Chains A and B, each alone.
Chain A
Amino acid sequence: MIPEPYEAIVKAIIYLLLAPVLGGLIAGIDRKVTARMQGRVGPPLLQPFYDVGKFFEKENLVVTTTQNFYALSYLVFMAVAGALFFSGGDMLLVIFAFTLSHIFLVLGAYAAFSPYSHIGAERELIQIIAYEPMIILTAVGMYMVTKSFYVGSIVQSTTPIILYLPGVFIGYLIVLTIKLRKSPFDLSTSHHAHQEIVKGVTTDFAGPNLGRIEIAHWYEYVFLLGVVYLFFAWNPFIAIAAIIIAYFLEILIDNTTSRVKWQMTLRSAWLVAGTLGVINLGVLYYLRMVVVP
């Protein structure tokens, strides 16, 4: 067996190598299922890999060279966030790195001069503001149940976390819709062909930089679905099933709803965090403190 101190490093390396493969496959399945829902055949399963391969074959066209730096930082910090998560690190640190990576994406979009890119950056910021409270409530909720912020301890807990945090879980699913850039919350950029602001945050990224952003998305997919796993960590089979059902629901919602305005996104995300999330945690607190002291 791997000696204790190296275990975390090995897990992090495995994540760094395998997450893009898994994330790309998830993206491929997503496009295939979406096509079937629309009565089309759809692209090959490996299409996301072809797309990214192509981005690296193209010329590196940038508006300013700082874009290269921001696109790379987005990728690196996203990978770091996921690696910290999968090596059993501190949830709060993971959330910090996760948010920071998005800030780099926003800065990258602001670095270009196109108005579409700027509107995309603004909307991305609004999305961050919208989902951040719920993500933090998720971490706090897991702490209240397992008494630890460390993913390593949370995942080993035998408590069925989902039974204690149903409200937080539903809130997290709604936030997941924002994070996976799915309708109705795909404001800043979307995976669908056309958008009213061209391509939002990614408008001014071309070639290899766009490829880096896409790979960062793959890391992100695996990390976000890893959080879903934590809710069901006491039983891996149920956890995998939950991930599949959750992702299928996201695709279904994506294909049956239309894009809403940013006010609505902010309102619904905060309303859910403020009601389901806070009430869930309040009840949990009350039970722990008052009923079973």
Chain B
Amino acid sequence: MTYLAKSPWIIHYDASSCNGCDIEVLAALTPVYDVERFGIVNTGNPKHADVFLVTGSVNEQNREILKNTYDQMADPKVVVAIGICAASGGIFRECYNVMGGIDKVIPVDVFVPGCAARPEAIIDGVVKALGILEAKRQAMNDRPAATRKPAGDSV
């Protein structure tokens, strides 16, 4: 295990969730579960985050914001889609403004099922994402230096 898996900082974005999944995400961050035991910190800043937790489906209003937040995160990064809405649009998928699951806009690494997803399932999903994060870090290091993004160019 590398440092990355020991210190995954998360950022949480509510796309168009009914708030059910959000409450469960926040429940996982309370002292009851105390995710700081695993080095997890809930940051509000995409530039400091490694894991992107998204709840709810993506709609025409927030697709830009979702994309922008994702783009601001430094590589390696993973996305965890929480709840059925984030996976496919869920019960809102027929709505006129809903585009569907968030994988329509950004690449998703882990889907956590449930309506609402339980805190235990969310923590499980994040732990699964850590394995992917580690694989991505190795892929990033293996990439030939020439194809790597030079520092300063990534605005």
Q: Is B34 an interface residue (CB 8 A)?
A: yes
Chain A residues, Cβ within 8 Å of B3: 50-54, 56-57
Q: Are A54 and B34 in contact (CB under 8 A)?
A: no
Q: In the complex, which residues of chain B have a beta carbon less than 8 angstroms from the beta carbon of A199?
A: 43-45, 48
**What 1/0 flags go to A54-98 for Cβ under 8 Å of B?**
101111111111001000000000000000000000000000000
Binds B, one of A39-47, A125-133, A282-290: A39-47
Collect the chain A residues with CB atoms within 8 Å of residue B154's CB. 59, 61-62
Choose one: A42, A43, A65, A205; the contact of B151 (CB below 8 Å). Answer: A65
Q: Which residues on A sit within 8 Å (CB–CB) of B45?
A: 198-199, 203
A41 and B34 CA atoms in complex are apart in Å by 7
Q: Which of chain A's residues have a CB closer than 8 A to the CB of B4?
A: 54, 57-58
Closest A residue to B43 using CB positions = A193
Question: Which residue on chain B has the smallest CB distance to residue A197?
Answer: B44
Check B75 against A58 for contact (C-beta < 8 Å): yes
Q: How many residues of A contact B (CB 8 A)?
A: 38
- The docked-state distance in angstroms from the alpha carbon of A176 to that of B146 is 46
A240 interface hit (Cβ, 8 Å): no
Say if the beta carbon of A263 comes within 8 Å of chain B. no
One of A43, A51, A204 near B47 (C-beta < 8 A):
A204
Are A42 and B36 in contact, with the CB atoms below 8 A?
yes
* Given contact pairs A59-B74, A63-B155, A35 touches B6 in the complex (Cβ within 8 A): no
Closest B residue to A31 by beta carbon equals B36
**Count of A-B residue pairs with CB < 8 Å:** 98
Given known contacts A54-B6, A58-B74, A68-B152, A44 and B44 CB-to-CB distance under 8 angstroms: no
**Residue B69 at the A interface, CB < 8 A?**
no
A53 to B34, CA, bound (A): 22
In the complex, what distance in Å separates the CA atom of A207 from the CA atom of B77? 12
Counting chain B residues whose Cβ lies within 8 A of the other chain, the interface size class is: 20 to 34
| Chain B min CB distance to A63 (Å) | 7
In the complex the two chains form, is B7's CB within 8 Å of A53's CB?
yes
**0/1 string, B1-22, CB within 8 A of A gives 1:** 0111011000000000000000
Are B36 and A35 in contact, with the CB atoms below 8 A?
A: yes
User: Assuming the A-B contacts A50-B6, A50-B7, are A207 and B34 also in contact, with contact meaning beta carbons closer than 8 angstroms in the complex?
Assistant: no
Q: Is the CB of A41 within 8 A of B2?
A: no
A161 proximal to B (CB < 8 A): no
Docked-complex contact B36 and A206, CB < 8 angstroms: no
Residues of A within 8 A of B44 (CB): 193-195, 198-199
The CA of A52 and the CA of B140, in the complex, are separated in Å by 19
Cα(A205)–Cα(B75), bound, Å:
14
A60 to B151, Cβ gap below 8 A? yes
Using CB atoms, name the residue of chain B closest to A53: B3
Whether A42 contacts B37 by the Cβ 8 Å rule is yes
B residues within 8 A CB of A207?
A: 74
On whether the beta carbons of A206 and B34 are closer than 8 Å, the reply is no
Q: Given the complex of chains A and B, what is the CA–CA distance between A105 and B11 in angstroms? A: 25
Question: Within the assembled complex, what's the spacing in Å between the Cα atoms of A63 and B47?
Answer: 11
Question: Do residues B74 and A61 form an inter-chain contact, with CB atoms below 8 A?
Answer: yes
A43 to B140, CA, bound (A): 28
| Chain B residue at minimal CB-CB distance from A66 | B152
CB-defined contacts of A39 to chain B, threshold 8 Å: 31
The 4 closest A-B pairs by CB, nearest first: A53-B3, A65-B152, A60-B151, A206-B47
A sample of 13 more A-B contacts (CB under 8 A), given A60-B74, A61-B47, is A43-B36, A44-B37, A52-B3, A54-B6, A59-B75, A62-B152, A65-B151, A193-B44, A194-B44, A198-B44, A199-B48, A202-B48, A206-B74
